[in-house]
Amino acid sequence: MNLIIATRKSKLAQIQADIVINLIKEKHNINSEKMLIVTEGDRRLDVTLDKIGGKGVFVKDIEHALLSKKAHGAVHSMKDVPFQLAEDFEIVAIPEREDIRDVFISRDGRKFQDLKKGAVIGTSSIRRAAMLKAMRNDLNIVPIRGNVQTRLEKMEKENMNGIILAAAGLKRLKLESIITDYFDPKIFLPAIGQGAIGIEALKEGEYNSYLRSLDNKTARITVEAERSFMRKLNGNCSSVIGVYSEIKDKDLYMIGIFDVGGKIVKKDILGNKDNNIELGLKLAEKILKG
């Protein structure tokens, strides 16, 4: 028996699927193979995500493979997964989380703090753009989409001074050496679920017990808290929304930002990690009160 794991075609998506395939092999001695799917989000790089349906454009085409029973599970970057899944599906596992930080990649090796006034930085993330402007409002921020390799090529071709990417993707691609600066995640707040991989399946999937065994409790607690925060705020890829979360012993500490009426509000919360969903909701409520 081979499990079929659906994922996007990009190099990073395939590496993430391989991580899951290796975990299944280690835990259950079961072989799996990848089913590669080109999603609408991959096909339409000429427009911003909010114009073509938001984060769900990376997920819907892959969900069709699950619905048709052509695949037993699907692997996503959790930051691409909308907070509301269709009722047939669930995230059955979130394996151990990678580095949650955002990073700066410089075209000429210059550190972020040493960038000249008016430097051109590439990012299509409204969250990243807002936090860059909060640190340096002189920067010229331009949109850039595509996979990691595409963005690196565009940075060179279009003479950008640098781009912002997620540390997790670069580490999984073994491209850590190109990182110029790591941003402090308590200041430059990551996306919801950044650094986490999610395994999606049909609710009554035949092989869900194998997939569920790959769940990492710490990753599950933080990611579900963050998604609860996003759900309450109805956050999406056209929102300035970011969150930092960490577990210390029995405590879960979270910092969140959200644009409330044109003003970015930042608040934090501390509570018992067993109340993670409630903490995400309470943090959102604190922010909405301003």
Catalytically annotated residues: 80
**Residue for token digits 């279009």?**
158
* CB-based contact 248:272 (threshold 8 Å): no
CB 253 within 8 A of CB 245: yes
Residues linked to residue 120 through DSSP beta bridges, in sequence order: 140
- By DSSP bridging, strand 102-106 and strand 181-182 are antiparallel
Find, among 259, 187, 251, 200, the residue nearest to 225 by Cα: 251
CB burial string 51-72: b at 16+ within 10 A, e below: eebbbbbbbebbbebbeeeebb
> Which 3 state secondary structure label does DSSP give 221?
helix
Burial (CB < 10 A; 0-12, 13-18, 19+), residue 27, is exposed
Amino acid present at 44: R
Other Cβ atoms closer than 10 A to 232: 18
